[in-house]
Amino acid sequence: MQKYLDSYKQMISLRGLTDHTIKSYCTYLRAYLNYLETILHKLPEDASWEDLRSFILYIQQQRNLADRTVNACISQLRFFTLYVLHKSWDPYQLPIRKFDTYLPFVPTKEEVATFISSMPDLKEKAMVSLLYSAGLRIGEVCHLKYKDIDRKSMRIHISHGKNRSDRYAILSSQALHILTEYWFAYDKPMDWLFPKQFKESDKPIDTFFLSRRIMTHEDRLGWEHRITCHSFRHAFGTHLYENGTDLLTIKALLGHKSLNSTVIYVSLASNGVRRAVSPFDCMGGSANA
Q: In what order do the strands lie in the sheet with 149-150?
A: 149-150, 155-158, 167-170
Residues 148 and 57 in one domain: no
The whole domain housing 228 covers 109-274
Catalytic residue (choose from 233, 234, 239, 251): 233
Do 183 and 192 meet the contact criterion of CB atoms below 8 Å apart? no
Q: What is the pLDDT of residue 220?
A: 96
281 domain residue, yes or no: no
Catalytic residue (choose from 25, 35, 132, 265): 265
- Count of other CB atoms within 10 angstroms of residue 199: 7
Residues 193 and 66 in one domain: no
Do 99 and 66 meet the contact criterion of CB atoms below 8 Å apart? yes
Q: What is the pLDDT of residue 61?
A: 87
* Strands of 126-199, DSSP E: 149-150, 155-158, 167-170
Q: Is 40 exposed, middle or buried (0-12, 13-18, 19+ CB in 10 A)?
A: middle
Residues 239 and 134 in one domain: yes
Distances (CA, A) of 142 to 128, 195, 228: 11, 8, 15
From first to last of the 289 residues of the chain, give the pLDDT tens digit. 889 999 998 888 888 777 777 888 888 899 999 999 999 999 999 999 999 999 999 998 888 888 888 999 999 999 999 999 999 999 999 998 887 777 889 999 999 999 999 999 999 999 999 999 999 999 999 999 999 999 999 999 998 656 567 899 999 999 999 999 999 999 999 999 999 876 667 889 998 999 999 999 999 999 999 999 999 999 999 999 999 999 999 999 999 989 988 998 888 887 666 677 778 777 865 555 5
Residues 254 and 137 in one domain: yes
Domain count, the chain: 2
Q: What is the pLDDT of residue 274?
A: 64
Residues 251 and 159 in one domain: yes
Domain boundary among 44, 66, 83: 83
233 part of the active site = yes
Do 128 and 214 meet the contact criterion of CB atoms below 8 Å apart? yes
Residues 168 and 28 in one domain: no
282 domain residue, yes or no: no
103 domain residue, yes or no: no
Residue 245: which region, alpha, beta or left (left: phi > 0; alpha: psi -120 to 50)? Answer: beta
Residues 217 and 266 in one domain: yes
Which CATH number does the domain housing residue 188 bear?
1.10.443.10
265 part of the active site = yes
Domain boundary among 49, 65, 83: 83
Nearest partner of 235 among 103, 72, 62, judged by Cα: 103
Q: Per DSSP, what are the bridge partners of residue 141?
A: none
Catalytic residue (choose from 162, 168, 186, 196): 162
d(Cα 232, Cα 235) in Å, to the nearest integer? Answer: 5
Catalytic residue (choose from 9, 145, 196, 230): 230
The answer, as to whether pTM is greater than 0.85, is no
137 part of the active site = yes
42 part of the active site = no
Catalytic residue (choose from 125, 137, 167, 239): 137
Question: Which residues lie below 8 Å from residue 133, measured CB to CB, with a gap of 6+?
Answer: 170, 171, 172, 174, 175, 236
182 part of the active site = no
